[in-house]
Chains A and B, each alone.
Chain A
Amino acid sequence: MAAEQPHGRLSLLRKRLDERLSSFIRTYKRTSMGRLTLILPALLVVGILIVLPTMILFELSLRPFVDGSIGSYFTFGNYERIFTSEASRTVIFRTIRVALIVTALTLVMGYPLAYTAVRGKKWTGRLIVVATLAPLAVDVVVRTFGWFLLLQEGGVVSQLLLLTGLFSSEPQLLYNETAIIIGLTHVLLPFMVFPLINVLHTIPYSLEEAAQNLGANRVEVFLKVLLPLSLPGIAAGTLMVFAITLASYVTPSLLGGETNVMAVTITDTFIGTGDWPYGSAMAMLLVVIGLGVILCYQRALREMDTKTGGI
């Protein structure tokens, strides 16, 4: 009896708490106050930690940098410096070019992989999912280091290239744009494959069979059935890869050597020099491109919503 009493009291307490909370939820769950309370923390995170800092970044990009300190008036001087300097124009074009090539490569390599994962034999599918997940789990520095080993002088790739007989001397594979592109394609491939796998899962195989029965060959089935239906997944994957590539730092700085991209220039400016306004102006260019990507992403999300009900 003595042992039962606290237990009884506890369950009574729990019951009361349950009733209180339940009636509380019932009262507020349909009110806009209740919904706002649920969403407010996330809104605060986005507002204070993303939107507000971007506004500070914009303001700073309009400040002059004279004699080693940040001035108090406003100027477009930093943007002028970026667009008139040959060196920074080269970096900007290279960044955009690399991002476009990496996006195209991940799509061309990722689509067959995703298709085989969905339509292939069960174990092939499993193997592909695990082989794509594993690199995603590994630290980017480590993955880039793997490519450093493969591409370095006397590395496996250059030995294989020498074996083909196409090169008379050992080719320089590291510290150029190609090395950056190879490394980034590896880093970003999973971000393309998973949205594709998820969208391909929503396309019934009977559609492909029907098209084949009606006389379409494999290429036609791909172009007229699969491609249009997987467009939302392609859009989601493409935009994600493009956005991440555009601002990636680790891989270009380890594999690119002197070959810089915008992220490396921005980071070096902020960490190495006090010229934050110039770095901010460069970063604002990324913001503008990033906002463009977000606008496209919204459209893709809406398409995705109507077709599959979420990503």
Chain B
Amino acid sequence: MTTETPTVQRDVLLSRAVNVLYRLLVSAVLVFLLAPLVLIPVVSFGTDRFAAGLPTDFTLEWYIAAANTFVDFGLSSALIASTALALATAVASTIIGGLAAFGIVRYDFKYSTTLQTILISPLVFPWLLIGLGILLLVSRIQSTFGIIIESSFWILFMGHLAFSVPYAIRTIGASLENYNHSLDEAARDLGATELQTYLKITLPIIKPGIISGLIIIFILSFNMYIISLFLMGPEIDLVPIAMYNLFRIVPPAEIAAIASVLMLAQIVLVVLAEVFFGISDYL
């Protein structure tokens, strides 16, 4: 008894210390994650044009300057182009990826594993190489066949499709794998036709997976810089590229103002998506 008490006490103390350290670590990581996102809107209201340190005096002048920059640099066209590209990419890759996921998961057939590997592996294929590769492909088509693919929107679309189809296969595949097949059989036994079974049973059940995939791909595509950099023509501008270029022209405080507005919209979208569809389950 007398020999045990100190060790028991030491164990308790030790486990408390571990607990405290663990909590500190988790809080520190949370601070690390949120610090840059919180700082940007804070300095956007400060008077310092270099936005160094925390502001002591506040102003709205950077938002007025940002509004002028938005007009002068024609950023609304970048906003429209980015949104259109991200929408087209999300819808197309969800259809292509959804069909493929259906083919792989629902019917187990001979080459299922091989096909799954081929189709999902591009998830870890560097984006830089996808952009670069399609640039080479387009210029090769031009030099070999003399076909000039003019519209850079569709070239961008191909680049974005290449990185996003595997994401769609993964998210929809995940929700199909958890799907209870006997539901389909039950529907058919009760007299539903093949089409009715898909439209009224299968689709509604895997809907969260499909919508999560759509939102994730929309965000990734909207924010995609490196693929777009290689494939962009002179007649089109996209938000991430415009932001990168502004970074070198406009004072930091004004960038902070533009970034705050963009950030607010993106965070609201993703938080709503999480609350309503639980998109984090599919990442």
Instruction: Give the residues from 1 to 35 in chain A that come closer than 8 angstroms, CB to CB, to chain B.
Output: 18-19, 21-23, 25-26, 29-30, 32, 35
Across-interface contacts of B280 in A (CB, < 8 A): 129, 132-133, 194, 197
Shortest CB-to-CB span from B178 to chain A, Å, is 7
Instruction: Check: B201 CB closer than 8 A to any chain A CB.
Output: no
Q: Please name the residue on chain A nearest to B116 by beta carbon.
A: A301
**Cα distance A59–B57 in the bound complex, in angstroms:** 59
- B121 near A146 with CB under 8 A, answer no
Interface of B is mostly: helix
Instruction: Check: A156 CB closer than 8 A to any chain B CB.
Output: yes
Across-interface contacts of A48 in B (CB, < 8 A): 137
Contacts A50-B122, A130-B271; A149 near B100 (Cβ below 8 A): no
- B117 near A301 with CB under 8 A, answer yes
- B136 near A57 with CB under 8 A, answer yes
Instruction: Check: A139 CB closer than 8 A to any chain B CB.
Output: yes
- A311 near B170 with CB under 8 A, answer yes
**Cα distance A302–B113 in the bound complex, in angstroms:** 9
**Cα distance A127–B33 in the bound complex, in angstroms:** 12
Q: Please name the residue on chain A nearest to B170 by beta carbon.
A: A311
Q: Please name the residue on chain B nearest to A284 by beta carbon.
A: B129
Which listed residue (A154, A194, A266) contacts B52, Cβ 8 A? A154
- B30 near A128 with CB under 8 A, answer yes
Across-interface contacts of A131 in B (CB, < 8 A): 30, 33-34
- B124 near A290 with CB under 8 A, answer yes
- A290 near B118 with CB under 8 A, answer no
Instruction: Check: A53 CB closer than 8 A to any chain B CB.
Output: yes
Instruction: Check: A267 CB closer than 8 A to any chain B CB.
Output: yes
Contacts A39-B115, A145-B255; A247 near B126 (Cβ below 8 A): yes
Instruction: Check: B219 CB closer than 8 A to any chain A CB.
Output: yes
Question: Of residues B39, B162, B194, which shows the largest number of chain A Cβ atoms within 10 Å of its Cβ?
Answer: B194
**Cα distance A131–B31 in the bound complex, in angstroms:** 9
- A57 near B121 with CB under 8 A, answer no
Contacts A18-B193, A129-B274; A42 near B129 (Cβ below 8 A): no
- B96 near A250 with CB under 8 A, answer no
- B178 near A309 with CB under 8 A, answer yes
Instruction: Check: A210 CB closer than 8 A to any chain B CB.
Output: no
- A41 near B100 with CB under 8 A, answer yes
Interface of A is mostly: helix
Instruction: Check: B107 CB closer than 8 A to any chain A CB.
Output: yes
Across-interface contacts of B170 in A (CB, < 8 A): 311
Instruction: Check: A257 CB closer than 8 A to any chain B CB.
Output: no
Which listed residue (B35, B127, B252, B274) contacts A133, Cβ 8 A? B274
Instruction: Check: A137 CB closer than 8 A to any chain B CB.
Output: yes
**Chain A positions near chain B (C-beta within 8 angstroms):** 18-19, 21-23, 25-26, 29-30, 32, 35-36, 38-39, 41-43, 45-46, 48-50, 52-54, 56-57, 60, 109-110, 112-113, 116, 127-143, 145-150, 152-156, 159, 186, 189-190, 194-195, 197-198, 217-219, 239-240, 243-244, 246-250, 254, 263, 266-267, 270-271, 276, 279-280, 283, 286-287, 290, 293-294, 297-298, 301-302, 309-311
Query: Can you name 28 A-B residue pairings with CB atoms under 8 Å?
Result: A18-B195, A22-B193, A39-B104, A46-B162, A49-B134, A50-B130, A54-B129, A57-B132, A112-B26, A131-B33, A134-B267, A137-B269, A139-B243, A139-B262, A143-B37, A149-B252, A150-B35, A154-B50, A154-B53, A156-B35, A218-B18, A244-B127, A247-B128, A290-B125, A294-B125, A301-B116, A301-B120, A302-B113
